[in-house]
Amino acid sequence: MDKVYIRGLEVQTVIGIYDWERKAPQKLVIDLEMAWSIAEAAASDNIEAALNYKSVSQRIIAHVEASRCLLIETLAEQIATLVRNEFSVPWLQLELSKPGAVGEAQSVGVKIERGEAV
């Protein structure tokens, strides 16, 4: 299975369950792997046949910056749904990390897989 990936996408947004978290944006980091055959893009050398990681990144950034979720679970599901629906991605694995959340930890977060690889 071929994949197109986005690694270490950093986005600032308001997220969290505590009052102090509702007052200022925090950094989230997104790692995304998307099933996508590269055969057509490779044969044509045409961006129209590719899953454009720049377009996917920009769409995710716009959504996350505007979001105001309490839980990272909620936001992870939203990102997975929009990527699958808007970019016709059949399967993806998404890791959403909140590096500032637990002082003693390097990072915390969730990792989900959605869809089926074709």
Ligand X SMILES: Nc1nc2c(c(=O)[nH]1)N=C([C@H](O)[C@@H](O)CO)CN2
Q: Name the amino acid, one letter, at 96.
A: L
Q: How far is the CB of 16 from ligand X (least distance, A)?
A: 3
Nearer to ligand X by C-beta: 16 or 34? 16
Biggest CA pair distance of the chain: 53
Q: Single out the residue of 22, 96, 17 nearest to residue 64, CA to CA.
A: 96
Nearer to ligand X by C-beta: 66 or 118? 66
The Cα-based distances of 59 to 44, 62, 69, 80 in angstroms read: 25, 5, 17, 12
User: Taking CB under 6 A as the criterion, which residues in 53-82 touch ligand X?
Assistant: 71-73
Q: Give dist(CA 21, CA 28) in Å, integer.
A: 13
Catalytic residue among 23, 27, 54, 98: 98
Q: How many residues bind ligand X (CB under 6 A)?
A: 10
- Which residues are designated catalytic? 98
Which residues make up the interface to ligand X (CB under 6 A)?
16-18, 21, 71-73, 98, 101-102
